[in-house]
Amino acid sequence: MTTDPTTTARPAFPGGTILGYPRIGRRRELKKAVESFWAGRTDAVDLEIAAGTLRRDTVRRLVALGLDPDDGSVPGSFSYYDQVLDVVATLGAVPARFRDLIDPDDGSLEPEGYFTVARGRGEDAPLEMTKWFDTNYHYLVPEISESTPISFADHRVVREYAEAKEAGVTTRPVLVGPVTFLALSKAADDAGEGFHPLDRLDDVVAAYADLLRALAAVGAPWVQLDEPALVTDSLDVPADRLHAAVNAAYRTLASGLAAATDDEAGERPAILVAAPFGGLEPDGLALLAATDVEAIAVDLVKGSVPATGPVPGLATKTLVAGVVDGHNVWRSDLTARLDVVDALRPLGAGAVAVGTSTSLLHVPHDVDDEVFADAAPGRTGGTTLDPRLREWLAFADQKVGEVTVLARAVTQGRDAVAAELTASSQAVASRVTAAGVVVPAVRERAAALTDADFARGPYAERAAAQAARLGLPPLPTTTIGSFPQTPEIRRARAAWTRGELADADYTAAMRAEIDRVVELQTALGLDVLVHGEPERNDMVQYFAEHLDGFAVTANGWVQSYGSRCVRPPILWGDVQRPAPITVEWSAYTASRTDKPVKGMLTGPVTILAWSFVRDDQPLGDTANQVGLALRDEIADLEAAGIAVVQVDEPALRELLPLRRADQDEYLRWSVGSFRLATSGVDAATQVHTHLCYSEFGEVIGAIDGLDADVTSVEAARSRMEVVPELRDAGYSRGIGPGVYDIHSPRVPSAAEVTELLQLAVKSIDPALVWVNPDCGLKTRRYAEIEPALTHLVAAAREVRATL
Ligand SMILES: Nc1nc2c(c(=O)[nH]1)N[C@@H](CNc1ccc(C(=O)N[C@@H](CCC(=O)N[C@@H](CCC(=O)N[C@@H](CCC(=O)O)C(=O)O)C(=O)O)C(=O)O)cc1)CN2
Ligand code: MET
Ligand SMILES: [Zn+2]
C-alpha cells in the first residue's frame, strides 16, 4: 500500500527529539555490570536487572529533561555492547563458528553468546572491530555470506519497547538501517568470489519487515533506522549501488507495509530515517524524500541542505533538523541554530522538528556531574573544572535541554524563549573574549613558521647516523609503548587523585612499575625498550592534563568500544606546554638500562581526534599549536639523551573527511602538524610513529608523508597486507608490521609469528623491517604478554638467521 501523495505530514516530534543517548551510564553502571558478568561475579539475571534499571532511569530522565513521553520522541537506543552487533543478533546473522550459541528454541543470542561473538572464544576469533564513521567509537564488523542465516530472530528490541512503555514512556526504537548494516559488513570467509554483503539486501529487508510488524503489534508509533552510509563516499560501495539499495529497502519497508495512523493500527510504525555524520548532498535527501518514509533526520552541523527549492516528496514528511551538535560539547548559539532551521523553509517539508545532528552517544552525560571551582584545575584525573567552562559546555543532558528550547521557538515563536536565547548568546560571546582562548605568544610563534620547520634532512643521512648510534641487529624487536595497566596501577592512581597517596609515593609506585617493565624486556631480549606508560590514565588525557588550553573531566566518560570508555579532554584555548611532560619518566627508564629507550608521545592529530576540539578556528591551526608543544617536548627528550622517540598517530585515518573532496586539505594539515612536531631533531635521533585501527589504503601516501624513520602498523589480522601496499606506494623507510594481535587474549605461537614475519620480509627489503606487536599492551595481562613476547623474540631470531 502506498501513501496518498496528497495527504500532508502528521507533524512529528513537535517537542524535539534526539537521535540516541549514552548507554554506558552516568557512573559507568553498564561497564561495571557487564565486566562483573564476564568475570563470573554476577549472573545473567543480575546483569539484566542492572541494565533494565539503567534503561528505565534513562527514558524517565529524558522525559524529565523535556522530551514528550507519549509520541516516540524518546529514543530507545540501549545496547549491551554495540549497535551493529545488535543487528547481527536481531537477524541471527552470526558467523558459522558461533552458530552453536543461538538458542535453538527462540533464535535468541543473549547474553553469553552475544558477548562471545564480540570477544571471541578459544580459537574462534571475535568479529573484527573498526571505527564508526569519523568517531572514536568502534563497531563490530558483521561477516555475511550467501549462506548466513538471516531472519527476525532475536526480539530484544520489542521487549525493550514494552519495558519502557511499562515504565510510562513510549520510545522510538533505534536500529542501524538495513543498507548501512550491509554496507559496513564484510564478506565472510565462506563467501563466493565477487560476493558483496549487499547481495543479501532482500533477505535483510524481509527480516526488518518482520521486526517492524512486531513493533506495530505492540503499538510502537515510530522506529528510527540509521543510514549514515549515505553521508560518506569512503565505503567500498559505489554511490549508485548504495542509492539503489536505499530505494529498494525503503520501497519494501515503507510502501510495502501499511503505516499505522492515529486511528488505525498498521503493519508498521512510522519510519524515521536518520543520516548523521555529514551532509546528504548531493542527492541523498531527494532519494529519501522520494520514498514513503514519514520522517528524515539530517545532520546540519557537519552538513547543510542547499535550500534551493521544494524537494519532491518532502511535503508529506517531517524533516528532523539536526542542529544541536551530537559529536562535540560546546553550548549551542541558539539564535544561529534557529536561523539554520528557518533556512530549511524553501525545501517545503510537511513539518520541521528540532533534533541532534547525531546520537548523543559520543558526548558525556551531564555537565552537572563535574565539579567547578575557582581554584586551578586539579592534577591527574582532575576533579575540578574552570568555572567559566560550565557556561560554555553542553553534554548530553544539556543538549536535550537545547533541543526542547529550540522546539518551543519553532512551535511558539522566538519570543517564547527570549531569555534562553539571550543567555545562549552571552555564553557564546564570553568564550570569544575569555583569557586563554587567544594567547598572543602562541599566535606569534605559529605565524612565524616557515617551510623549514616542517622538514628534516635526507633520509639516507639520517639512517646512517642512527645505525651508527644505535647499533641494532637486523629485524630489531620492540613494543608499541604501553605494558599492562594492572589493577594495582589504577588503584594507586585513584588513591593519588583522591589525595590519599602522596606525590612521592605515587612516583615511587610508578617507578617500581617501570623497573619491572625494564627487567621483563631485558629478560625477553627486546632490542629497543619502552617505559610501559604506567603513569598514563590514557594516551591523550594524560597529555591534555599537562598542556595549557585543555580541561579534563572527572566523570565525562564516553564509550569507545564494548565496556571500554574514555574521558575525552576539552580543548578550549590556545595550547602551550608549561613544563616538560615525559622527560623525567623516560630519563629514569634510560638510567635503568644500557639498551636504547624509546621516548613515547601522542601526536597532534590523535590528541585532537580524541579530544573535544574548539570550533572557533580551523583544526589545522589548533594542530600546529599542539605540534609546537610536542616539538619542545621532543627537544627536551633529545637533550636528556633519548635516541629514539615514538610519536603515535593511531587516529590519522579516523579524522579523514568522509567526503573525498575534503580529504586532500585534511591530509595537508595533519601530516604537516606531525612533521612540525618531529622535524626539529638531530639526524641521529630516530623518529618512530605508530598507527592502528585502520584501513590504511586511503592514507598510505600520507603515512609516507609523515617522514618518520620507522612506522609501526597494525597488520597481524590482515596477514601483513599493508606491507606490499606501503612498498608499492614508494615507502622505503623502517616498517614494523604488527606480528601479534593484542586485541585478543590469545597467545600466538612462535611458529605463527615466524610465518607472519616471513611474509613481511618477502614483501619488502628485510633491512627495513622491525618486529613488534600490533599496538600497546595496556589492555592485556602479564600472563598473556610474557609468552607472546617470548614467541615474538624467538621468531625474530629465527628469521634473522635466514637473512
Ligand atoms: N582516548 C583513547 N581513545 C582510543 C584509544 C586510547 O587508548 N585512548 N585506543 C583505541 C581503543 N580504545 C580504547 C579506549 C579505552 C581503553 C581503556 O582501557 N579504557 C579504560 C579507562 C582508562 C582510564 O581512563 N583509566 C583511568 C581510570 C581508571 C578507572 O576506571 N579507575 C577506577 C578506580 C580504579 C580502582 O580503584 O581500581 C574508577 O575510576 O572507578 C586511570 O587509569 O587512571 C576502561 O574503560 O577501563 C582502551 C582502548 C582507540 N581509541
Ligand atoms: C592506540 S595506539 C597506542 C599507542 C601507545 N603508545 C600504547 O602503546 O598504548
Ligand atoms: Zn595502537
Centre of ligand 3 from the C-alpha of residue 197, in Å:
29
Q: Which three cell numbers stand for residue 262?
A: 492515529
pLDDT at 696: 82
Distance CA 220, CA 655 (A): 37
Q: Which residues are known catalytic residues?
A: 743
Q: Tell me: the pLDDT tens digits for 698-724?
A: 899 999 999 999 999 999 988 999 999
* Closest residue by Cα to residue 479 from 130, 739, 157, 154: 739
Give the mutation target among 775, 777, 780, 785 for probing the ligand 2 site: most ligand atoms within 8 A of CB: 775
* Ligand 1 center from residue 566 Cα (angstroms): 6
Quick check: 373 pLDDT over 90? no
Ligand nearest to the CA of 736: 3
For residue 777, the CA-to-ligand 3 centroid distance in Å is: 9
Binning pLDDT at 50, 70 and 90, where does residue 12 land? very high
- Among 131, 480, 601, 688, which is best to mutate for testing ligand 2, by the most ligand atoms less than 8 A from CB? 480
Q: Which ligand is nearest to the CA of 648?
A: 2
**6 pLDDT higher than 60:** no
- Domain limits, the chain: 29-363+394-431, 463-801
The annotated binding site for L-methionine is made up of 480-482, 533, 648
Is residue 241 within 8 A of residue 179, CB to CB? The reply is: no
Q: Are 29-363+394-431 and 463-801 equal in CATH topology?
A: yes
Cell 492515529 sits at which residue? Answer: 262
Position 7 scores a pLDDT of 45
> Which of 1.10.1040.10, 3.20.20.210, 3.90.180.10, 3.40.50.80 would CATH assign to domain 463-801?
3.20.20.210
* Higher pLDDT, residue 498 or 361: 361
* For residue 282, cis peptide bond before it (omega within 30 degrees of 0): yes
**pLDDT in the model for residue 1:** 36
Q: Indicate the class that CATH gives domain 29-363+394-431.
A: alpha beta
Pocket perturbation via mutation, ligand 2, pick of 138, 539, 602 by most ligand atoms within 8 A of CB: 539
Q: What is residue 708's three-state secondary structure?
A: coil
Write down the residue that cell numbers 616498517 correspond to.
Answer: 735
**Cβ within 8 Å of residue 493, ≥6 positions away:** 380, 381, 506, 537
DSSP string, 659-681: SGGGHHHHHHHHHHHHHHHHTTS
Q: Which residues are annotated as a binding site?
A: 28-31, 131, 480-482, 533, 564-565, 610, 648, 654, 690, 692, 714, 775
How do residues 18-51 score in pLDDT, each as one tens digit?
A: 999 999 999 999 999 999 999 999 999 999 999 9
Report the nearest atom of ligand 1 relative to the CA of 540: 1
Which residue's CA lies nearest to atom 7 of ligand 2?
A: 776
Share of the chain above pLDDT 70, in %: 97
Query: Which whole number is the average pLDDT over 628-641?
Result: 98
Residue 745 has pLDDT above 90, yes or no: no
Q: Looking at the chain, how many residues does it have?
A: 803
Q: What is the pLDDT of residues 144-201, one digit of tens each?
A: 999 999 999 999 999 999 999 999 999 999 999 999 999 999 999 999 999 999 999 9
Residue 694 has pLDDT above 90, yes or no: no
- Indicate the average pLDDT of the chain: 95
User: DSSP character for 599?
Assistant: E
Under a CB-based contact definition with an 8 Å cutoff, are residues 611 and 540 in contact? yes
Residues 55, 101 contacting (CB under 8 angstroms)? no
Which residue matches cell numbers 609469528?
753
Nearest ligand to the C-alpha atom of residue 532: 2
Residues with CB under 6 A from ligand 2: 480-482, 539, 600, 648, 650, 690, 692, 775-776, 778
According to the model, what pLDDT value does residue 374 have?
A: 60
- As a whole number of angstroms, the distance between CA 295 and CA 318 comes to 5
pLDDT at 5 over 60: no
Query: Tell me, what DSSP letter sits at residue 538?
Result: S
DSSP-derived letter for residue 254 is I
User: Model ipTM?
Assistant: 0.98
Which protein residue has the closest C-alpha to ligand 2 atom 6?
481
SS3 (DSSP) at 76: strand
Looking at the predicted structure, is the pLDDT value of residue 786 above 80? yes
Number of Cβ within 10 Å of residue 759's Cβ equals: 17
CB–CB of 349/319 below 8 Å?
yes
Predicted confidence at residue 794, as pLDDT, reads 98
Burial of 630 (0-12, 13-18, 19+ CB in 10 A): buried
pLDDT at 261 over 90: no
Residue 180, class by beta-carbon neighbours within 10 Å (0-12 exposed, 13-18 middle, 19+ buried)? buried
Q: What is the CA(720)–ligand 2 centre distance, in A?
A: 19
Which ligand 2 atom lies nearest to the CA of residue 602?
6
pLDDT single digits (tens) 377-415: 444 444 688 889 999 999 999 999 999 999 999 999 999
